[in-house]
């Protein structure tokens, strides 16, 4: 008899819990429906699989609340998908903020959390400041083009009201990434210039690559087969609120996204700062020189967005490893430097920084052209020096 009572109590508790869960997902299903994203064949590569997920504007963004090793180095994202510690949108009293934007060099490829350019800059500035506390914000994302960095900055970065903004220009690939609607196995936003000289963002939303682990759950599981027969009773879970919630969502968006705390609205930022968005990708840019010009113009737009809010902007340019080894700057690198100088944009040219440091290439560069912790520290020292001059 006691065993039967326990079974009845357990069954009642289970049924009550199921009703509560259904009720919760009933209200979740009343919210905005997830965007209908077309899925195409493709696969994000390398670290994008472990630290990033699909984003309907940027192409992909940082996973929130993740901490794991990459090439033996600990990489941590906060609740907003940014590398580094938690930082509130509003700064405290006597706090000056330095926002870093860019690709894997900003993010910190194959270096520990305490070996990135933003971390070292924050450390150096605070070690030599008594009246002002500095906060460095890392908006870097591996593989980002200048266009993606710009979109993330106007969508998320400006919310932190940074006093200084530092863009790292990665000579290895920033030009071709910016001048394409697909990079590193995934689709991305793609800027184009209209006849009147204004800009438009195309390929929004980018198609989701099928290789993302967070690909649509309906494509991974047969939700229509959720039929069971228990003791002659037919149970059909296909139309439950729980299944309907997850059916059209991706794994990260459904489960992990709710644990993140970033609530930025990129489409509103695009409408405010750019004023034009289109679904289809614009025609491919045919000439390399035009891709260079697009990158330069987007850098200038970032500068304008920073300065019109009273901030200071600078670009850190990293040369190719072979250029530093051969003591000769590549034509494209020299072109970018020249045009940034013509626009009056403040530049920290790492080619000359490294030459003046009398450092060996082996001490500065590691895999895929990225900087070592020592290289990152040299960059941070120069950034901190410029900031102190303002």
Domains in the chain: ranges and CATH: 64-209+251-389 (3.40.50.1110)
Instruction: Please list, in sequence order, all residues whose beta carbon lies within 8 angstroms of the beta carbon of residue 258, skipping any fewer than 6 positions away.
Output: none
Instruction: Please list, in sequence order, all residues whose beta carbon lies within 8 angstroms of the beta carbon of residue 170, skipping any fewer than 6 positions away.
Output: 102, 103, 104, 105, 318, 369
Match 């609740």 to its residue by tokens.
79
Contact between 241 and 235 under an 8 Å Cβ cutoff? The reply is: no
pLDDT for the residue numbered 256: 42
Pairing state of beta strands 73-77 and 66-70?
A: antiparallel
| Helix pair angle (373-389, 117-127), 10° resolution | 50
Q: What angle do CA 384, 149, 307 make, to 5 degrees?
A: 55
The CA distances from residue 376 to 45, 128, 248, 318, in Å, are 24, 19, 42, 11
Q: Residue 352 has which token pair?
A: 């000359």
With 0-12 / 13-18 / 19 or more C-beta atoms within 10 angstroms meaning exposed / middle / buried, residue 52 is buried
Q: Which residues of 138-152 are buried (b: 16+ CB within 10 A; e: fewer)?
A: bbbbbbbbbbbbbbb
Q: Which residues of 173-183 are buried (b: 16+ CB within 10 A; e: fewer)?
A: bbbebbbbbbb
pLDDT for the residue numbered 125: 98
Contact between 218 and 248 under an 8 Å Cβ cutoff? The reply is: yes
Q: Residue 168 has which token pair?
A: 């790292």
pLDDT for the residue numbered 258: 41
Cα separation, 157 vs 309, whole angstroms: 12
The CA distances from residue 301 to 273, 294, 297, 343, in Å, are 9, 11, 6, 11
pLDDT for the residue numbered 36: 58
Instruction: Please list, in sequence order, all residues whose beta carbon lies within 8 angstroms of the beta carbon of residue 285, skipping any fewer than 6 positions away.
Output: 179, 180, 192, 291, 294
pLDDT tens-place values along the chain, 390 residues long: 667 676 777 777 777 787 887 787 777 777 655 555 565 666 676 788 789 988 999 999 998 999 999 999 999 999 999 999 999 999 999 999 999 999 999 999 999 999 999 999 999 999 988 899 999 999 999 999 999 999 999 999 999 999 999 999 999 999 999 999 999 889 999 999 999 999 999 999 999 876 665 544 555 555 565 666 656 666 666 777 776 666 655 554 444 444 456 788 999 999 999 999 999 999 999 999 999 999 999 999 999 999 999 999 999 999 999 999 999 999 999 999 999 999 999 999 999 999 999 999 999 999 889 999 999 999 999 999 999 998
Q: Give the distance between the most distant pair of CA atoms in the chain.
A: 89
Question: What are the backbone dihedrals phi and psi of residue 223, each rounded to the nearest 5 degrees, phi first?
Answer: -65, -25
Cα separation, 211 vs 205, whole angstroms: 17
Collapsing DSSP states into helix, strand and coil, what is residue 170? strand
Question: What are the backbone dihedrals phi and psi of residue 302, each rounded to the nearest 5 degrees, phi first?
Answer: -65, -45
């Amino acid at each position: 008899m006691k065993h039967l009572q326990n079974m009845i109590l357990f069954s009642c508790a289970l049924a009550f819990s199921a009703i509560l869960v259904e009720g919760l997902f009933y209200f979740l299903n009343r919210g905005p429906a997830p965007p209908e994203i077309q899925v195409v064949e493709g696969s994000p590569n390398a670290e994008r699989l472990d630290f990033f997920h699909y984003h309907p504007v940027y192409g992909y963004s940082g996973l929130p609340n993740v901490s794991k090793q990459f090439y033996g180095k600990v990489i941590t994202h906060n609740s907003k998908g940014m590398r580094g510690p938690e930082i509130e949108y509003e700064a405290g009293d006597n706090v000056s903020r330095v926002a870093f934007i860019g690709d894997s060099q900003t993010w910190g490829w194959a270096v520990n959390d305490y070996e990135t350019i933003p971390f070292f800059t924050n450390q150096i500035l605070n070690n030599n400041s008594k009246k002002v506390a500095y906060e460095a914000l890392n908006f870097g994302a591996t593989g980002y083009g200048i266009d993606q960095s710009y979109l993330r900055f106007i969508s998320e970065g400006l919310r932190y009201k940074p006093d200084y903004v530092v863009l790292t220009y990665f000579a290895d690939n920033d030009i071709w990434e910016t001048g394409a609607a697909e990079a590193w196995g995934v689709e991305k936003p793609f800027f184009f210039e209209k006849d009147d000289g204004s800009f438009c963002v195309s390929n929004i939303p980018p198609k989701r690559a099928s290789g993302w682990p967070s690909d649509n759950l309906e494509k991974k599981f047969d939700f229509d087969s959720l039929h069971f027969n228990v003791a002659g009773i037919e149970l059909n879970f296909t139309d439950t609120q729980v299944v309907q919630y997850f059916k059209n969502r991706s794994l990260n968006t459904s489960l992990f996204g709710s644990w993140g705390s970033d609530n930025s609205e990129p489409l509103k930022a695009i409408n405010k700062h750019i004023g034009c968005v289109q679904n289809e990708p614009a025609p491919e840019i045919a000439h390399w020189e035009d891709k260079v010009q697009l990158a330069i113009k987007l850098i200038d737009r970032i500068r304008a967005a920073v300065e019109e809010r009273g901030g200071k902007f600078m670009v850190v340019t990293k040369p190719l490893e072979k250029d530093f080894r051969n003591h000769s700057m590549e034509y494209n690198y020299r072109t970018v430097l020249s045009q940034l100088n013509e626009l009056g944009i403040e530049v920290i040219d790492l080619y000359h920084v490294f030459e003046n440091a009398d450092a060996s290439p082996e001490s500065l560069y590691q895999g895929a052209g990225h900087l070592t912790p020592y290289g990152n520290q040299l960059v941070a020292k120069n950034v901190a020096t410029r900031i102190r001059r303002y």
